[in-house]
């Protein structure tokens, strides 16, 4: 009787070839540890209008300060006739310097303050109340012109006395604007008047008018000269009632002078 053999069976050449022909799997690299960082930046939110295919809404332009209405208040010739009212800005300068034209340009009116080619025609103090687009009210004061030969010395003395009484005695006066024709040279009368204002502690500023009638390259030279002559801390504005140059900027300065804005609070660190 045959007995089973304990010897292992040998693989045939066919089985061995099949085993060797199978591709061996490549060893996979061990996954490295991922470093996770937290970002503090907020995710960008898509614009809702853009997501719907609509055009993005336009940004609103900053509101420009302007005078929305202006009214004649009074024409004063005597010292005791001044009515009380809003904070006042006075305009003064040589005859034909452009006081009335500047007031009209600020108010956006053509004939609120009457202009005249006759020197010394304004023989009264004319008051106008101007309402700003932010609800504030300014009183614009057109003072008589000075320093012209066609006006008698007696009349000039009367004007000077009335103006001095008004400027020193007014409780609502905020600033006097001394207007200077940008085409003219040094104005001794205006410089002397500025010295008087300083001595009586009446705040004033200088504005160069008719800037459109000189070249742009000369405007800087004119403003630098006026700053030195009147001993100003800043360069004066050069404005034009004809083309509107720096009229809005001047109006903003007058508004902030009459109604100072409170200082911004400093945030504690």
Q: What is the pLDDT of residue 33?
A: 54
| Whole-structure pTM value | 0.72
- Rounded-to-integer distance, Cα 180 and Cα 26, Å: 93
Q: What is the pLDDT of residue 161?
A: 76
CB atoms within 10 A of CB 207: 23
Distance of CA 181 to the CA centre of its chain: 24
Dump pLDDT digits (tens) for 111-132: 787 765 555 555 788 999 999 9
Q: Are 213 and 184 in contact (CB under 8 A)?
A: no
What are the respective helix, strand and coil percentages of the chain, to the nearest 5?
Answer: 30, 20, 50
- Rounded-to-integer distance, Cα 73 and Cα 140, Å: 10
- Rounded-to-integer distance, Cα 144 and Cα 95, Å: 8
CB atoms within 10 A of CB 108: 15
Domains and CATH numbers, the chain: 67-258 (3.40.50.300)
Q: Are 99 and 92 in contact (CB under 8 A)?
A: yes
CB atoms within 10 A of CB 60: 6
Q: Give every residue of the chain whose pLDDT is below 50, as ranges.
A: 10, 16-17, 149
Structure tokens at 164: 């001095």
Q: What is the pLDDT of residue 103?
A: 94
Instruction: List the one residue out of 156, 89, 84 whose CA is nearest residue 120.
Output: 156
Q: What is the pLDDT of residue 2?
A: 52
Mean of the per-residue pLDDT values for the chain? 80
Please provide the size of the chain in residues.
269
CB atoms within 10 A of CB 144: 23
Q: What is the pLDDT of residue 39?
A: 52
Residue 246: which region, alpha, beta or left (left: phi > 0; alpha: psi -120 to 50)?
left
């Amino acid at each position: 009787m045959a007995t089973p053999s304990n010897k292992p069976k040998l693989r045939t050449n066919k089985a061995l070839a099949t085993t060797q022909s199978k591709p061996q799997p490549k060893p996979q690299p061990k996954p490295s540890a991922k470093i996770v960082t937290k970002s503090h930046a907020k995710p960008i939110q898509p614009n809702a209008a853009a997501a719907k295919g609509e055009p993005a809404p336009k940004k609103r332009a900053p509101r420009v300060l302007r005078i929305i209405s202006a009214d004649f208040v009074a024409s004063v010739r005597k010292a005791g006739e001044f009515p009380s009212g809003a904070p006042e800005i006075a305009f003064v300068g040589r005859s034909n310097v452009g006081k009335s034209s500047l007031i009209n340009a600020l108010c956006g009116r053509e004939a609120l303050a009457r202009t005249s080619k006759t020197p010394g025609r304004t023989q009264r103090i004319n008051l106008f109340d101007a309402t700003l687009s932010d609800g504030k009210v300014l009183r614009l004061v057109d003072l008589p012109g000075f320093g012209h030969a066609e006006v008698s010395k007696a009349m000039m003395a009367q004007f000077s006395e009335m103006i001095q009484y008004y400027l020193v005695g007014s409780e609502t006066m905020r600033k006097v604007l001394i207007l200077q024709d940008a085409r003219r040279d040094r104005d001794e009368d205006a410089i002397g008047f500025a010295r008087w204002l300083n001595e009586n502690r009446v705040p004033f500023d200088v504005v160069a008018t008719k800037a459109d009638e000189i070249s742009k390259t000369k405007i800087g030279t004119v403003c630098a000269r006026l700053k030195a002559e009147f001993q100003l801390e800043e360069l004066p504005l050069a404005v034009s009632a004809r083309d509107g140059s720096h009229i809005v900027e001047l109006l903003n300065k007058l508004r902030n002078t009459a109604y100072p804005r409170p200082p911004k609070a400093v945030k504690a660190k």
